[in-house]
């Protein structure tokens, strides 16, 4: 066996995490830099994360489409409704604990509110590779002390150490570095790198769309300079006219344009009094024309598609769906259903896991309420279908009402504590009612009739 090979027997993990005192900076230096990466104006990913994040923060605000998508996705996430529920479905909701937890979350970010916390969280999450950082403010010192507030930390002032016990160093406005223990901070990454030395450094949405955004920005700047720039737009080679005649005509045209307050557009220059015996010739060389076969409409459509893919959203959340083969109503519906499980579900899941991982009391849970009417309708339809199946089995004598309740609990259609409360009272669902199971069956028949007429 080689000398540098160590047999792991008692160690809990084979990963040797650095200590905070080592000041190890996240790194993922690529072995080969491609020509495309070298040509970019922004520091390549993994070389100098802090410098790159500063450049990304400056860049995304300067590209209107990219900035608009960051805004749209962030306000969507911040607007999601949520609730506090009991963590044990066999017990009623602990109302006082739930109320206190809800009040704490609504006062997040040092009293600024939940929505402001989520907006800052999403902006850092989508625009920096360092990700998002939450400060966990507790009543006392230690991981078991109750959480009294959750606040946003500036990603640019947070340093990943790779130390599980002290994962973050925060630099305050005085330049003082403050080491944060694992119970004082939480990090959020949308797409963390699997490279061990990167310490969960992510590849943010702006990084994923960076090259496409740079191209679109270059086109926009090109057009702006073409319209309002002061550079030479064309060269005209003229014979048969003296230089003095041209200079006088240009000076006169400039004065007339200023008098007319024309700063972007100028009328054609006319040279009067040219010698009629002279031979005139003219060659025009355009220096400010768009490339041949350039289709701005198609370029913009595919750029929007790139942004939608980078942010994990539906194309229609950014712009109206393009016409042609991608524009049918059925394809639009399929795109919506596929997208619903991507970006929104991921963000919801990340935040729920963090909050329910020790930040809220153990007897309650934080849960987002999905604000998707089509999804809610589908869930209600699925629940009705399961209820119909149980009613049919009940009518056929295959199961009794106790078994039907057990199936409803297993399917998630009936809360366990409610089913146990019914059992404790010694009741049988709808036994004392005149209609009995026929009440459910009547609803089934009614629904079937509506479906038949709809088809």
Q: Per-residue pLDDT averaged across 336-352, rounded?
A: 73
Same domain (yes/no): 263, 319: no
* 128 and 204 Cβ atoms separated by less than 8 Å: yes
- Look at residues 357, 337, 355 and name the one whose alpha carbon lies nearest to residue 102: 355
Please write the tens of the pLDDT for every residue from 44-76.
998 899 999 999 999 999 999 999 999 999 999
416-424 and 401-411 helices cross at what angle (nearest 10)? Answer: 160
137 — pLDDT class (breaks 50, 70, 90): very high
- Look at residues 172, 170, 183, 123 and name the one whose alpha carbon lies nearest to residue 347: 123
pLDDT for 447 equals 56
pLDDT for 260 equals 74
Q: Residue 38: is its pLDDT beyond 50?
A: no
271 — pLDDT class (breaks 50, 70, 90): low
d(C-alpha 191, C-alpha 357), whole Å: 20
pLDDT for 35 equals 41
Q: What is the dihedral of CA 61, 64, 68, 74, to 10 degrees?
A: -20
* Strand, coil or helix: 171: strand
Q: Is residue 1 part of a domain?
A: no
Element (H, E) at 160: strand 158-160
d(C-alpha 14, C-alpha 22), whole Å: 19
- Look at residues 136, 122, 317 and name the one whose alpha carbon lies nearest to residue 204: 122
Same domain (yes/no): 204, 249: no
Q: Is residue 258 part of a domain?
A: yes
Q: Is residue 65 part of a domain?
A: yes
Same domain (yes/no): 95, 26: yes
Q: Is residue 194 part of a domain?
A: yes
CA distances from 148 to 18, 132, 137, 184 (A): 30, 20, 6, 12
pLDDT for 186 equals 97
Same domain (yes/no): 128, 262: no
Same domain (yes/no): 252, 329: no
- Chosen domain end from 216, 251, 286: 286
Q: Is residue 2 part of a domain?
A: no
Indicate yes or no: pTM above 0.95. no
pLDDT for 418 equals 80
Same domain (yes/no): 270, 251: yes
Backbone angles phi, psi at 268, to 5 degrees: -60, 145
- Look at residues 71, 43, 65 and name the one whose alpha carbon lies nearest to residue 220: 65
Q: Residue 437: is its pLDDT beyond 60?
A: no
* Strand, coil or helix: 403: helix
Q: What residues contact residue 12 under an 8 Å CB cut-off, 6+ apart? A: none
373-395 and 401-411 helices cross at what angle (nearest 10)? Answer: 160
In the numeric block, the tokens 């900035």 are attached to: 67
Does 343 or 435 have the greater pLDDT score? Answer: 343
* 234 and 288 Cβ atoms separated by less than 8 Å: yes
Q: Residue 98: is its pLDDT beyond 70?
A: yes
* Strand, coil or helix: 192: strand
Q: For residue 345, how far is the Cα from the chain centroid?
A: 10
The single-letter DSSP state of residue 94 is: -
- Look at residues 144, 89, 152 and name the one whose alpha carbon lies nearest to residue 123: 152
* 128 and 191 Cβ atoms separated by less than 8 Å: no
* 307 and 339 Cβ atoms separated by less than 8 Å: no
For the ranges 37-51, 64-78, 312-326, the lowest mean pLDDT is seen at 312-326
- Chosen domain end from 371, 387, 414: 371
Same domain (yes/no): 173, 308: yes
Q: Is residue 455 part of a domain?
A: no
Instruction: Specify the number of domains making up the chain.
Output: 3
Total residues belonging to the chain: 455
Same domain (yes/no): 245, 213: no
Q: What percent of the chain has pLDDT over 70?
A: 68
Same domain (yes/no): 362, 385: no
Same domain (yes/no): 158, 74: yes
Q: 219: which 2 tokens? A: 């086109």
pLDDT for 332 equals 54
Range of the domain at 239: 232-286
Same domain (yes/no): 279, 304: no
pLDDT for 239 equals 65
- Reduce the secondary structure of 418-450 to three states and give it as a string: HHHHHHHCCCCCCCCCCCCCHHHHHHHHHHHHH
- Chosen domain end from 371, 396, 416: 371
Same domain (yes/no): 136, 220: yes
Q: What residues contact residue 281 under an 8 Å CB cut-off, 6+ apart? A: 237, 238, 239, 240
């Amino acid at each position: 066996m080689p000398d540098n090979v160590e047999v792991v027997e008692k160690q809990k993990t084979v990963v040797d995490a650095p200590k905070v005192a080592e000041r190890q900076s996240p790194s993922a230096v690529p072995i080969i830099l491609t020509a495309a990466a070298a040509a970019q104006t922004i520091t390549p990913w993994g070389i100098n994360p802090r410098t790159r994040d500063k450049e990304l923060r400056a860049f995304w605000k300067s590209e209107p489409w990219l900035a608009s998508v960051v805004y749209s996705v962030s306000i969507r996430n911040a607007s999601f409704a949520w609730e506090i529920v009991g963590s044990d479905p066999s017990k009623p909701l602990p109302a006082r604990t739930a109320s206190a937890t809800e009040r704490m979350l609504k006062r997040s970010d040092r009293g600024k509110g939940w929505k402001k916390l989520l907006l800052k969280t999403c902006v850092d999450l989508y625009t920096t590779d360092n990700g998002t950082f939450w400060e966990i403010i507790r009543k006392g010192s230690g991981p078991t002390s109750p959480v009294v507030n959750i606040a946003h930390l500036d990603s640019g002032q947070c340093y990943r150490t790779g130390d599980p016990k002290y994962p973050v160093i925060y630099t305050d406005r005085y330049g003082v570095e403050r080491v944060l223990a694992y119970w004082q901070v939480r990090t959020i990454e949308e797409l963390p790198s699997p490279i061990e030395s990167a310490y969960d450094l992510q590849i943010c949405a702006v990084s994923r769309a960076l090259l496409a955004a740079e191209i679109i920005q270059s086109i926009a700047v090109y057009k702006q300079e073409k319209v309002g720039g002061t550079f030479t737009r064309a060269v005209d080679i003229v014979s048969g006219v003296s230089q003095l005649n041209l200079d006088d005509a240009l000076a006169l045209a400039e004065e007339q344009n200023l008098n007319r307050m024309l700063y972007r557009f100028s009328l054609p220059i006319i040279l009067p009094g040219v010698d009629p015996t002279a031979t005139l010739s003219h060659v025009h060389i355009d220096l400010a024309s768009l490339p041949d076969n350039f289709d701005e409409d198609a370029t913009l459509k595919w750029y929007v598609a790139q942004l939608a893919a980078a942010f994990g959203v539906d194309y229609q959340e950014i712009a109206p769906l393009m016409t042609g083969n991608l524009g049918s109503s059925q394809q639009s519906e399929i795109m919506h259903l596929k997208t619903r499980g991507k970006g929104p579900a991921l963000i919801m899941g990340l935040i729920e896991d963090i909050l329910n991982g020790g930040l809220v009391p153990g007897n309650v849970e934080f849960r987002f309420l999905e604000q998707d009417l089509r999804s809610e309708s589908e869930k209600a339809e699925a629940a009705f279908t399961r209820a119909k199946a149980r009613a049919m089995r009940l009518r056929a004598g295959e199961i009794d009402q106790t078994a039907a309740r057990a199936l409803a609990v297993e399917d998630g259609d009936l809360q366990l504590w409610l089913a146990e409360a019914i059992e404790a009272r010694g009741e049988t669902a709808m036994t004392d009612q005149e209609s009995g199971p026929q009440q459910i069956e009547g609803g089934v028949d009614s629904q079937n009739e509506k479906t038949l007429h709809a088809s």
